């Protein structure tokens, strides 16, 4: 049976690790390759590198990071953060990453999703959505979510569920749902958001934002119908190991991949 | 020397780096003569079946690949490369494949999320050196929307369950294909690449 995935997210800037709460980068904790190796050894199913470099050299820095990762870590990985153009996607995929994750740029120019999917296949294009809960004027619906961009600073007026559908129609092979309300709180994922989107589209959903422990992952992978759970700080600061999370999930009947050691000499 | 065939269907760098990691020399090639002189041939690939066959044809790579296999040189198809080994595909119309194995490439039935993305189990159906030291039930990383329906049971080396049971490893003698990405499947995948480079 297909295993549910546990995905640590590494925030990187200028080729180094950063840890952020509510998108404000604060603490340098070293080499992303070393951290990636640690997560791999603990049983991470995939890695996400979220690059917040904001300089003219961004593309070169990202390209170099991608190539280093693909030479040393043999599990799938995604690169996101400021992916705007066909050229950005190309550097990520040709460097050896499985997927490029596209967020704000898709809102500005949705054609980037279509173009990326046509050139590299839907499996290489992740539609990343930052969503925030909004009061609902329509009484027939109890809650709605609005798409925000630029790290949560700009409201787009778009309905997140409709946007999810459009991203998939345009060729996104997977969606990451990042709840801005839950991000950095450790109070748990937005279960309802994940469930609503998962029921609406056929592609796998990666839940993001709010992980405080294994019980949150269990909730979003069961009730929330997500295919994968992404987390950053609980792994980064060693609050929980990936192995602990997987044991917790396995005990509750969630299919997970056990980490095995095979002699490669 | 292992030749990784480049025919414009996806990134091959990860496959090359994974072979290097297990101590095997692998080069990315795109000319017929490079396949003819290779000891071992790897056909990776992601994308559409029809495009892949048309690219192979245009580059004159079909005959050298079929020749390598018929001469008994070790061959490994990865992902789309496995599907191309079969006779035909129903992906966006009907397409002829390399026709090394009898059977058909089909779309997953309704009711499953497609593409299948993630780690799934492979139940080993028969012993082969390709799987030496790989435990039965090992997980591998899959990304695909179509699967191979093999006509001959003896060609099915490994089976995976995604709504239906399908052949995730197929082949015979020294020509094999894997539906998953061994280059992204951690130790279990690297072990298969090492076995292919040293034992097949």
Q: What is the dihedral of CA A204, A207, A208, A212, to 10 degrees?
A: -150
ipTM: 0.92
Asked if omega into A146 is within 30° of 0 (cis), the reply is no
Mean pLDDT of A190-217: 97
Model confidence at A180: pLDDT above 50? yes
Whole-number pLDDT of residue A139 = 63
| The predicted structure's pLDDT at residue B10 | 80
Region B148-171 average pLDDT:
97
Question: Among B191, B62, B68, B35, which residue's Cα sits nearest to residue A265?
Answer: B191
Chain-centroid distance, C-alpha B91 = 17
Q: Which residues pair with B118 in a beta bridge?
A: B142
Residue pair B157/B139 in contact by the 8 Å Cβ criterion:
no
Are A96 and B194 a contacting pair at CB < 8 A?
A: no
Question: Counting one residue from A and one from B, how many pairs have CB atoms under 8 Å apart?
Answer: 98
Read off the CATH number of the domain in which B15 is found. 3.40.50.880
Chain A contact for B196 (CB, 8 A cutoff):
no
Would you state the pLDDT for residue B37? 97
- A77-86 as b/e: b if 16+ CB within 10 A: bbbbbbbeee
**∠ Cα A56 A58 A59 (to 5°):** 110
Q: Do residues A117 and A125 make contact, with C-beta atoms less than 8 angstroms apart?
A: yes
Residues in A touching B183 (Cβ below 8 Å): 74
- DSSP code string of chain B: -EEEE-SSSS--HHHHHHHHHTT--EEEE-SHHHHHT-SEEEE---S-HHHHHHHHHHTT-HHHHHHHHHTT--EEEETHHHHHTEEEE-TTS-EE---SEEEEEEEPPTTS-SSEEEEEE-EE-S--GGGTT--TT-EEEEEESEEEEES-GGGEEEEEEESEEEEEEEEETTEEEESS-GGGSHHHHHHHHHHHHHT-
Phi, psi of B197 (to 5 degrees): -70, -30
Instruction: Say if A76 is an interface residue toward chain B (CB within 8 Å).
Output: yes
pLDDT at A163 over 90: yes
Residue B150 near residue B102, CB atoms below 8 Å: yes
Q: Among residues 103-122 of chain B, which lie with CB inside 8 Å of chain A?
A: 113-121
pLDDT surpassing 70 at residue A10: yes
- What pLDDT, on the 0 to 100 scale, is given for residue A22? 34
pLDDT at A137: 67
B127 catalytic residue (yes or no): no
- Nearest Cα to A199, choosing from A168, A218, A224, A169? A224
Q: What does the pLDDT look like over A83-136, one tens digit per residue?
A: 999 999 999 999 999 999 999 999 999 999 999 998 888 899 999 999 999 987
Q: Which of these ranges, A6-10, A53-57, A113-117, B193-197, has the smallest mean pLDDT?
A: A53-57
Calculate mean pLDDT across residues A158-180. 97
- Concatenate the DSSP letters of all residues of B169-192 into one string: EEEETTEEEESS-GGGSHHHHHHH
What are A59's two structure tokens?
Answer: 């593309």
Q: Is residue B104 predicted with pLDDT exceeding 70?
A: yes
For B10-59, what is each residue's pLDDT tens digit?
A: 879 999 999 999 999 999 999 999 999 999 999 998 888 999 999 999 99
- Given this model, what pLDDT does residue A142 score? 76
CA distance A212 to A231: 9
Quick one: which of A132, A101, A115, A108 has its CA closest to A7? A101
Q: Is A239 helix (H, G, I), strand (E, B) or coil?
A: coil
Residue of A nearest to B193 (CA): A264
CA dihedral A233, A236, A241, A245 (to 10 degrees): 30
For residue A3, CA distances in Å to A78, A137, B10 come to 18, 39, 25
Say which of A1, A95, A264 has its CB closest to residue B22. A264
**Per-residue pLDDT tens over the stretch A54-94:** 888 999 999 999 999 999 999 999 999 999 999 999 999 99
Q: Which residue has the tokens 């390598």?
A: B68
Per-residue confidence (pLDDT) for residue A136, from 0 to 100 = 72
- Predicted confidence at residue A141, as pLDDT, reads 63
Per-residue pLDDT band for B9 (boundaries 50, 70, 90) equals confident
- Residue A140: predicted pLDDT: 61
Could you say which DSSP state residue A31 is in?
-
Question: What total number of domains does chain B contain?
Answer: 1
Q: Which domain holds residue B59?
A: 2-198
Fold of A5-127+168-251: TIM Barrel (3.20.20)
pLDDT category, A6, cuts 50, 70, 90?
Answer: very high
Nearest CB neighbour to B115, from listed A74, A122, A259: A122
Question: Does A24 have pLDDT greater than 90?
Answer: no
How much is the pLDDT for A155? 96
pLDDT of residue A26: 43
> In terms of C-beta density within 10 A (0-12 exposed, 13-18 middle, 19 or more buried), how is residue B21 classed?
middle
- Which of A81-85, A135-139, B79-83, B132-136 shows the lowest per-residue confidence on average (mean pLDDT)? A135-139
Asked if the Cβ–Cβ distance from B10 to A227 is below 8 Å, we say no
Strands B164-172 and B156-162, by their bridges, are antiparallel
């Amino acid at each position: 049976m297909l295993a549910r995935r546990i995905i640590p997210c590494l925030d990187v800037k200028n080729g180094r690790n950063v840890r952020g709460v509510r998108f404000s980068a604060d603490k340098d904790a070293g080499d992303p390759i070393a951290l990636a190796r640690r997560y791999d050894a603990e049983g991470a199913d995939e890695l996400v590198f979220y690059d917040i470099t904001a300089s003219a050299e961004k593309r070169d820095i990202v390209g170099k990071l991608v190539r280093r990762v693909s030479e040393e870590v043999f599990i799938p990985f995604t690169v996101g953060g400021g992916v705007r153009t066909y050229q950005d996607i190309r550097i990520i995929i040709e460097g050896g990453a499985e997927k490029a994750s596209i967020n704000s740029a898709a809102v500005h120019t949705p054609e980037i999703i279509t173009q990326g999917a046509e050139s590299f296949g839907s499996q290489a294009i992740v539609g990343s959505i930052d969503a925030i809960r909004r009061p609902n004027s329509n009484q027939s619906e109890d809650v709605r979510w609005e798409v925000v961009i630029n790290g949560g600073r700009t409201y787009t007026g778009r309905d997140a569920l409709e946007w999810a559908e459009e991203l998939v129609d345009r060729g996104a092979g997977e969606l990451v749902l990042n709840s801005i309300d839950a991000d950095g709180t450790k109070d748990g994922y937005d279960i309802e958001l994940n469930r609503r989107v998962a029921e609406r589209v056929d592609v796998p959903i990666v839940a993001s934002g709010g992980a405080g422990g294994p019980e949150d992952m269990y909730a979003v992978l069961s009730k929330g119908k997500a295919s994968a759970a992404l987390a950053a700080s609980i792994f980064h600061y060693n609050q929980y190991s990936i192995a602990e999370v997987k044991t917790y999930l396995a005990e509750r009947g969630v299919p997970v991949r056990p980490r095995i050691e095979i002699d490669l000499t | 020397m292992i030749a990784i065939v480049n025919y414009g269907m996806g990134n091959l760098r990860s496959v090359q780096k994974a072979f290097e990691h297990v101590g095997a020399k692998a080069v990315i090639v795109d000319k017929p003569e490079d396949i003819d002189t290779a000891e071992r041939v790897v056909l990776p690939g992601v994308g559409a079946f029809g495009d892949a066959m048309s690219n192979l044809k245009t580059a004159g790579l079909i005959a050298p690949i079929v020749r390598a296999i018929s001469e008994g040189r070790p061959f490994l198809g990865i992902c789309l490369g496995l599907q191309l080994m079969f006779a035909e595909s129903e992906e966006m119309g009907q397409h002829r494949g390399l026709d090394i194995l009898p059977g058909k490439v089909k779309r997953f039935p309704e009711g499953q999320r497609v593409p299948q993305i993630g780690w799934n189990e492979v139940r080993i159906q028969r012993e082969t050196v390709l799987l030496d030291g790989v435990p039965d039930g090992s997980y591998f990383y899959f990304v695909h929307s179509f699967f191979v329906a093999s006509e001959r049971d003896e060609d099915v080396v490994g089976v995976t369950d995604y709504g239906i049971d399908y052949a995730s490893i197929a082949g015979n003698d020294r020509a094999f294909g894997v539906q998953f990405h061994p280059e992204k499947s951690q130790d279990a995948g690297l072990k298969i690449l090492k076995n292919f480079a040293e034992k097949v």
